[in-house]
């Protein structure tokens, strides 16, 4: 968008600040930061967040944080993507129809969609750390429950609960990582998270390759356990590890400053400084922080809300009693700026883009393992006959085989399902391509800028989504699918980076959570519609995928350039 739009967004941040100061207790970071810069941010005076995080340095703590993000981000990817890999091997055990496969691919996204706003509100009131460790620990329980599932219904329930839970920490992780880094490193951190996402995506087919061919059918406490259940159990380990590690990580100092809890924020900065420099905490050069909101000291484990009525004044030393309805009203009051221009239009634009990107990307991504398995089976049956494995031929073959399994279970499942090695290799290649793509993404973004990268990437994604329909061989399908998913994945990271940069701190997690909710709803819609459209014809599902991505690309033109927006 134009410079005028950038100014309007940043001006709205200052209006948000003024409203919050009137309400005594909301984040006033935009104005306070400006004032601090006007009066100087030397070590002798109060420091802004950016000055304080810069003083804490970049070192071992940041590397630990990025290391922790590996299992954390992997847990979110595993929760949303694991079903696509078990569909070919669990087809007989669970007696799956084509519609059942669509439901299993979509059900985790249903849970994510429902819980998004609640998680965003909790993260902006209770803090980032609590959401991270409780969310991942509870998600581990849900994943282990899905690994013990004995039928389709039981698996659907646990996958829904897993999606319900993991959406919170998955959205908060992006906010937490950016709030733990200074301006110099924020964009790089988001790209690294994108690489972690690609790594997690690569590990899914690698684990499937190592586990599915094993003859691991046995009984455990009266439960029938198959190789695909072992696979799900292994995928629950990153959630458990992440939850345990986040128990000892500090709270986001950006969140604490936005809450007026500067003493706690300063302690967090000192901890980061101590780990990075290996020097005593007392030697941390920053001695005071800019007071962004009225000073508010909290008792241990006490929730601090950013909205308080004027008559209450400063928060008393003792913990106040507060009803659920009052807390909800406070949360709604905090989100009021999202209902006004220009944040309203910007938010709606981001939500629509996230819906379209996730619908297009995850529909193709989650059905690829099934398509590659059908492709390998088709080529094995017609070896030497010179029959091309075009996309339409494979889709028709897959629909017919699934229907045959459902109608004639005894014959179709008389022998164990044998999955061709080509299925695993093709999925590994697609996932590895996405990982490699992130190595080049940083240089491309620096050359084009984040906004152009997002816009060009979405238009290319929409084009490649339609090209899939014209695929005439398994090799062409592999190349086009790998390119499509790589470009779309980078566009997702660019959009989330824009959201983090364009919205104020006290609204950021809510906006990210709502955006992720819209994305999950898009993935849910796409995976439910894909089997329906496939039965109508070969072209409709690809028109659906291409059109939503092209629409997202068009909307991205109207999003302000995040490189010119003020992080607050």
Residue at 222 is within a domain = yes
Instruction: Determine the distance from the C-alpha atom of residue 87 to the mean position of all C-alpha atoms in its chain, rounded to a whole number.
Output: 23
Q: What is the pLDDT of residue 390?
A: 83
12, 342 Cβ separation under 8 angstroms:
yes
The CATH number of residue 169's host domain is 1.20.1250.20
Q: What end-to-end distance do the CA atoms of the chain give, in Å?
A: 20
Q: What is the pLDDT of residue 171?
A: 78
Q: Is 94 found in the same domain as 51?
A: no
* Number of domains, the chain: 2
Q: Is 66 found in the same domain as 37?
A: no
Q: What is the pLDDT of residue 299?
A: 46
The residue whose two tokens read 């690994």 is 147
Q: Is 330 found in the same domain as 353?
A: no
Q: What is the pLDDT of residue 377?
A: 81
Q: Helices 474-502 and 152-179: crossing angle, nearest 10°?
A: 50
Q: Is 219 found in the same domain as 266?
A: no
371 bridge partner residues: none
369, 547 Cβ separation under 8 angstroms:
no
Residue at 17 is within a domain = no
Q: Is 257 found in the same domain as 237?
A: no
Q: Is 65 found in the same domain as 37?
A: no
Give the three-state DSSP class for 218. Answer: strand
Residue at 6 is within a domain = no
Residue at 15 is within a domain = no
289 bridge partner residues: 47
CB-based burial label for 301 (10 Å; 0-12, 13-18, 19+)? exposed
Q: Is 188 found in the same domain as 304?
A: no
Q: What is the value of pTM for the model shown?
A: 0.69
Residue at 309 is within a domain = yes
- Backbone torsions φ then ψ of 219, nearest 5 degrees: -110, 140
CA-based nearest residue to 141, from 158, 154, 116, 129: 158
Distance from C-alpha of 507 to C-alpha of 519, rounded to nearest angstrom: 18
Taking 50 as the pLDDT cut, the residues of the chain under it are 1-3, 16-42, 298-321, 567-568
Number of alpha carbons in the 13 Å side-chain half-sphere of residue 210: 11
Q: Is 35 found in the same domain as 71?
A: no
Q: What is the pLDDT of residue 359?
A: 92
Residue at 85 is within a domain = yes
Q: Using the Cα atoms of residue 261, residue 264, residue 268 and residue 274 in order, give the sign of their dihedral.
A: positive
Residue at 409 is within a domain = no
Q: Is 549 found in the same domain as 535?
A: yes
Q: What is the pLDDT of residue 96?
A: 82
Domain that holds residue 114: 60-250+340-381+388-404+419-564
Q: Is 377 found in the same domain as 449?
A: yes
Give 312's DSSP letter. G
The number of beta carbons lying within 10 Å of the beta carbon of residue 455 is 21
Q: Is 48 found in the same domain as 84?
A: no
Q: Is 552 found in the same domain as 456?
A: yes
Provide the token pair at 153.
């219904």
**Which residues, including other chains, have CB under 8 Å from residue 415's CB and lie 6 or more apart?**
none
Provide the token pair at 246.
């986040």
The residue whose two tokens read 């094993």 is 214
In order, the DSSP letters of 387-425 are ----HHHHHHHHHHHHHHHHHSHHHHTSS-----HHHHH
Distance from C-alpha of 349 to C-alpha of 338, rounded to nearest angstrom: 12
Give 557's DSSP letter. T
Give 47's DSSP letter. B
Residue at 412 is within a domain = no
The residue whose two tokens read 């087809």 is 91
């Amino acid at each position: 968008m134009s410079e005028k739009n950038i100014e309007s967004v940043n001006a709205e941040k200052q209006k948000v600040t003024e409203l919050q100061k009137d309400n005594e207790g909301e984040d006033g970071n935009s104005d306070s930061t400006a004032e601090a810069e006007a009066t100087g941010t030397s070590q002798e005076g109060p420091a802004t967040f950016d000055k304080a995080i810069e003083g804490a340095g970049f070192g071992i703590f940041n590397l630990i944080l990025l290391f922790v993000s590996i299992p954390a981000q992997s847990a979110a990817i595993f929760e949303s993507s694991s079903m696509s890999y078990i569909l070919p091997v669990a087809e007989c055990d669970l007696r799956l129809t084509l519609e059942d496969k669509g439901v299993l691919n979509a059900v985790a996204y249903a849970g994510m969609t429902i819980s998004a706003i609640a998680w965003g509100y909790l993260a902006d009131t209770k803090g980032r750390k609590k959401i991270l460790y409780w969310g991942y620990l509870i998600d581990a329980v849900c994943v282990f429950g899905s690994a013990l599932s004995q039928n389709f219904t039981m698996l659907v329930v646990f996958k829904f609960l897993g999606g319900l839970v993991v959406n919170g920490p998955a959205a908060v992780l992006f906010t937490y990582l950016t709030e733990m880094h200074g301006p110099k490193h924020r964009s790089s951190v988001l790209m690294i998270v994108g690489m972690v996402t690609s790594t997690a995506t690569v590990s899914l087919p690698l684990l499937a390759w190592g586990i599915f061919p094993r003859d691991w059918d046995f009984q455990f406490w009266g439960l029938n356990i198959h190789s695909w259940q072992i696979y799900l159990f292994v995928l629950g380990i990153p959630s458990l590890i992440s939850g345990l590690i986040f128990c000892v990580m500090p709270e986001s100092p950006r969140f604490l400053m936005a809450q007026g809890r500067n003493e706690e924020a300063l302690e967090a900065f000192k901890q980061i400084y101590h780990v990075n420099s290996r020097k005593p905490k007392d030697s941390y050069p920053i001695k005071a922080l800019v007071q962004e909101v009225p000073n508010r000291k909290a008792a241990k484990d006490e929730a601090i809300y950013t909205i308080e009525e004027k008559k209450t004044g400063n928060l008393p030393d003792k913990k106040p009693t507060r009803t659920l309805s009052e807390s909800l009203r406070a949360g709604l009051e905090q989100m009021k700026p999202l209902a006004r221009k220009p944040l309203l239009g910007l938010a709606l634009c981001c939500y629509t883009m996230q819906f379209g990107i996730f619908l297009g990307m995850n529909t193709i991504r989650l059905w690829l393992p099934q398509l590659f398995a059908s492709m390998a089976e088709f080529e094995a049956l017609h070896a030497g006959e010179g029959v091309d494995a075009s996309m339409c031929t494979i889709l028709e073959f897959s629909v017919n085989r699934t229907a045959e399994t459902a109608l004639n279970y005894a014959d179709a499942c008389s022998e164990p399902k044998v999955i061709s090695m080509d299925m695993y290799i093709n999925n590994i290649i697609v996932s590895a391509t996405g990982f490699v793509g992130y190595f080049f993404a940083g240089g491309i973004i620096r050359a084009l800028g984040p906004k152009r990268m997002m816009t060009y990437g979405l238009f290319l994604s929409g084009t490649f989504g339609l090209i899939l329909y014209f695929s005439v061989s398994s090799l062409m399908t592999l190349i086009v699918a790998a390119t499509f998913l790589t470009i779309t994945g980078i566009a997702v990271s660019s959009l989330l980076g824009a959201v983090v940069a364009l919205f104020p701190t006290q609204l950021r997690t809510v906006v990210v959570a709502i955006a992720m909710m819209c994305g999950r709803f898009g993935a849910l819609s796409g995976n439910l519609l894909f089997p329906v459209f496939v039965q109508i014809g070969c072209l409709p599902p690809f028109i659906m995928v291409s059109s939503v991505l092209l629409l997202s690309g068009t909307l991205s033109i109207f999003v302000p350039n995040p490189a010119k927006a003020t992080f607050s």
